Structures are given as C-alpha cells and as structure tokens.
Amino acid sequence: KNIWIKAHENCIYIDYTDGSAKHNKLCDSRKGYVCDIYCLDPIPKFPLFQNNIWNCSTKTTDKMCDVSCKEGSVLEGADKVICLKWGWVDAYNKTTKLPICRDESEAASDLISWLDEFRRKQYRILFVVDEAITISTKQWWQQLKFVAALMQAFP
C-alpha cells in the first residue's frame, strides 16, 4: 500500500497506508519540482483514491484517464492525466501527482484554514473572474458570489 514517488533528482518515499490526504502536502512544487507516480498499475487502488471514478484507456503506457468524483467529494488536481513510461502527466504534459477526490467538508475546512492563515499573515489575494465569451451569465454570477462571500468572511 506504499507508493514510490519520484522527483526528477530526488526520490521520496511516502506511506499512504493510513489513507490520509494530509500526506499530499509532502508532494508539492515548493522546492522547484513536481512529484510524479510510477504508473504501471492500470488504475491506482489505494484507500486514498476510493472516491475517484477512473475512465481510462486499456493501454498501460500512454494510457489516458479522465477522473471524476463520487457524490459528496471534490476533485483536487487535474481531471485528465496520462500515464507515460516515466510517470503521470497532466494535459499540458507536465509531471503531476494523481488527482484525489476529497470529502467536500474536509476540502472546505482546509480552504477556510488556508484563508485564515493568509488573513493572520496579512497577505493579499487577487481574484481573477473569468469573463470569456464562452462563460454563461449564471457561471459569471456564481464566480462573483463566491468572491463576495470570501471577502465578507475574510475582510
């Protein structure tokens, strides 16, 4: 149940046996590299991915997967990943960690904690609202409501 995670020069070993998504924070790009997971297995079968819905081509290498989530969970990461001989990449051919469907309440709690930390450190956040011609009026209003709610909760 352990996963080897390779970074371009270093190699990190992370134990996911407790099923905690908190370990994901160990695999990020703060040090200038992005972690990728060796992908010979057709679909990752770890407790961490129990809420993921995988729709993959049958090939082992150069396999493309669309990832969606079961009800009550939210996707963290890319919704399309490709398995190459050196590991997983996203649609832009950049090495990536596997997408994880997290419990909605846990993801919301993490977002609030993150925003509170920004507030305490007096960081500023710039919100960019999508105004592309392809976006519907309803989607545009949802974005504005989301930003307004965050600004009201964290002035």
pLDDT tens-digit readout, 56-84: 876 666 778 899 999 999 998 889 988 77
What pTM was estimated for this model as a whole? 0.56
73: amino acid identity, one letter: S
3-29 per-position pLDDT tens digit: 444 433 343 444 444 444 444 444 443
- Torsion, Cα 130 131 137 139, to 10 degrees, reads -10
Give the mean pLDDT of 141-151: 89
Query: For residues 62 and 32, what is the distance between their CA atoms, to the nearest angstrom?
Result: 25
Q: Which residues contact 83 (CB under 8 A, 6 or more apart)?
A: 39, 60, 61, 62, 63, 64, 65
Interatomic CA distance for residues 52 and 5, integer angstroms: 19
Split at pLDDT 50, 70, 90, the class of 32 is: very low
Q: What is the pLDDT of residues 118-132, one digit of tens each?
A: 888 888 888 888 787
**Could you tell me the two tokens for 83?**
């398995």
What pLDDT score does 125 carry?
82
pLDDT of residue 47: 67
> Tell me, what's the pLDDT at 44?
60
Range(s) for CATH 2.10.70.10 in the chain? 3-105
Dist. CA 150–CA 129, nearest whole Å: 14
Q: What is the pLDDT of residue 145?
A: 93
Q: 3-105 architecture in CATH? A: Ribbon (2.10)
